[in-house]
Amino acid sequence: MASPDPAADPNRQPTYDRAPTSLIAAWNGRRRALVFAPDEALPPQDADLAALLSAVVPAGEELALPASTHARKRHEIRQELAGRSELAALNALLIAHLRKKRFPRHAPALFRRIWQEQGEALLAELSPRWLISSAITFGDHGETEEQRRVGLAMNMLFSLMKLYEFERLQSGYPADRAFPPRRRIGAELPLDMPGFSLVSGGLDINLLAQIWEMAQAEPVAGRIACHLLDRLNHDPRSLFRRMVLMRDALDARRVARSARVKTPPASP
């Protein structure tokens, strides 16, 4: 017997009304280009990156008003990155422009040049937040298909991680504490996906291994991705660490149960 068509269910309610049209419209609304004042511009494509790396963003810079949207974003970034290098600030400003529908023509090439020539320095300087943003930017603006694939994979991984890790905090459990290995409820997964076996399932390993292997083969975007994946592997606050903890707890409980079964009762 054929499965019922969920679209025919009169009680079926969308999560987002009028999707995908409404979603695309909201997304595009957030992608309006940053506007330059007549005397403003990004540094040229052949900017001296070494000089920018050695210069420091000063604290306490004031924003002159009226200010263009470019100037406001630049000021916001420089406030956040005060004490960091001017190169870190330029990298962040380029990312802000490259997230928009329109941007200066040379911005993608300048962004890629920063990571080709000064990638190691920025890996040591930037916080994970800006490293993630940098890796993701290669998804749309990578020079090669390999760079774009790495960027898109990192975008999907870390975007979903941010959503589910935020939602999980509503459970009242800290991010480094796994749920106890008790009997779970029998509810179905979305889209009727088959269940996951905590003991024998390898979905977490398959997901990370595929991205990591792809990143190892790409020397620019992949270098950022490998650095982030290694940090994720050592961070105790992720779903992946919690899955391992739950798996270990379940294995320990099964071993203890098996030992009790094998132990003969004491003689009277």
Res. 5 pLDDT band, cuts 50 70 90: low
Q: Give the pLDDT confidence of 104-155 residue by residue, as tens digits.
A: 999 999 999 999 999 999 999 999 999 999 999 999 999 999 999 999 999 9
Within 10 A of 12 (CB to CB), how many other CB atoms are there? Answer: 9
Q: What ranges do the domains of the chain cover?
A: 35-118, 127-174+201-259
Q: Give the pLDDT confidence of 179-210 residue by residue, as tens digits.
A: 887 777 778 889 999 988 887 889 999 999 99
Within 10 A of 2 (CB to CB), how many other CB atoms are there? Answer: 4
pLDDT value, residue 122? 98
Distance of CA 268 to the CA centre of its chain: 62
Question: Which candidate, 97, 91, 107, places its Cα nearest to that of 53?
Answer: 91
pLDDT at 17 over 90: yes
Q: What letter does residue 53 receive in the DSSP assignment?
A: H
Q: Give the pLDDT confidence of 71-113 residue by residue, as tens digits.
A: 999 999 999 999 999 999 999 999 999 999 999 999 999 999 9
Token pair in block for residue 149: 């694939």
Q: What is the largest CA-CA distance in the chain?
A: 96
Contacts (Cβ under 8 Å, ≥6 apart) of 243? 178, 198, 204
* Average pLDDT of every residue of the chain: 92
Listed range (129-143, 167-181, 243-257) with the worst mean pLDDT:
243-257
